[in-house]
Structure 1
């Protein structure tokens, strides 16, 4: 966690974030520090879309599925963009998701791997995101973490054509290999 601990609070604000161009880059804000990620590769976007479609088809009416770039703003100094998120409809404000999502999903890539595995895991945990899924397209591996007493615990690791039968945030069946179709 050395990367997280070496970040000094910056002066970048949500207003500054709102003024950035829509240029295909992903901009996130953590304690005044701007994080910039390049546009994702096709394999990444395929996994994001396939996962979102599966979640959306099973989503109950009181919940909503979003894909990045949808902001989740847990504090006035943080704005995060999970690749996929599920939240209560009532938690969606005019510009961002304002309360912790029930589920945040990150799809790993070379550009985001360490950020997603360590940094964003900690930020989602601190924010109270109930479930955090991490999908690695290179190994067709889905890791499912659930918040228990403020700490993420691994619930499942599912690979390839093995089936993950999610119960939370709602029942849905996920086969990691199908996310790359």
Structure 2
């Protein structure tokens, strides 16, 4: 499938399977993700609140990581999660997390990140909950993402999944007043009281 593809053809073959090689050929106006060979349209531009939360967290991470080997990136930023091969035509998951932290510089190239980030943070929006809570959960766990944070803006909650023995272990549900510490980004902590106050 290495030819340019339009939206009509893509809709007609939703389940692919599509690879990163196909992804590079697409001539579409909307942003897309591929999860296990299946394409997913990204939602329209995120709501203002989503962007505010994302910027707040990314800024805190950026300031904390100055002078350290880890780097923070925000969407749109392609993260390729290979299973058996690093070849473009054999990579069937390409996602754009809201925020990710990569500590191994060898995983970074001009196309984005090749391999699992240490930390991924996703902010739920209407219409993307199933993708974040089911599909992405599975590929992040299988790919070895050490921590997966899910923020629910409307409920003002944060849930942390930590990888232990190749399986995610959920935290309790954090909310306003909690300070959430990262297990994989040593020393980083997020004050949810401060974060959620910005939503008022």
Give TM-score scaled by structure 2 length.
0.79
Following superposition of structure 1 onto structure 2, how do residues 160-175 of structure 1 map, counting pairs within 5 Å?
160-175=176-191
Q: Is the 8 A contact 1:145 1:155 kept in 2?
A: yes
**Which residue of the partner structure matches residue 158 of structure 2?**
142
Q: Distance in 2 between matches of 1:91 and 1:11?
A: 24
Other structure's SS at 2:126 match = coil
**Which residue of the partner structure matches residue 86 of structure 1?**
101
Aligned mate of 1:28, from 21, 26, 33: 33
**Which residue of the partner structure matches residue 122 of structure 1?**
138
Following superposition of structure 1 onto structure 2, how do residues 46-125 of structure 1 map, counting pairs within 5 Å?
46-59=52-65, 61-75=68-82, 76-88=91-103, 89-125=105-141
The answer for unaligned runs of 5 or more in structure 1 is 1-7
Q: Distance in 1 between matches of 2:26 and 2:172?
A: 38
Q: Distance in 1 between matches of 2:28 and 2:74?
A: 16
What is the RMSD computed on CA atoms of the aligned residues? 1.9
The answer for unaligned runs of 5 or more in structure 2 is 1-13, 83-90
Q: Distance in 1 between matches of 2:132 and 2:17?
A: 23
Q: Is the 8 A contact 1:44 1:109 kept in 2?
A: yes
> Shift of the alpha carbon at 1:112?
1.0
- Indicate the larger mover: 113-122 or 126-135: 113-122
Paired residues, number: 173
**Which residue of the partner structure matches residue 14 of structure 1?**
20
**Which residue of the partner structure matches residue 3 of structure 1?**
none
**Which residue of the partner structure matches residue 192 of structure 2?**
176
Q: Distance in 2 between matches of 1:128 and 1:167?
A: 14
Deviations 1:125-153 (A, max 9, x none): 01110100001111111111100011100
4+ residue segments displaced more than 4 Å: none
Q: Distance in 2 between matches of 1:167 and 1:148?
A: 11
> Shift of the alpha carbon at 1:50?
0.8
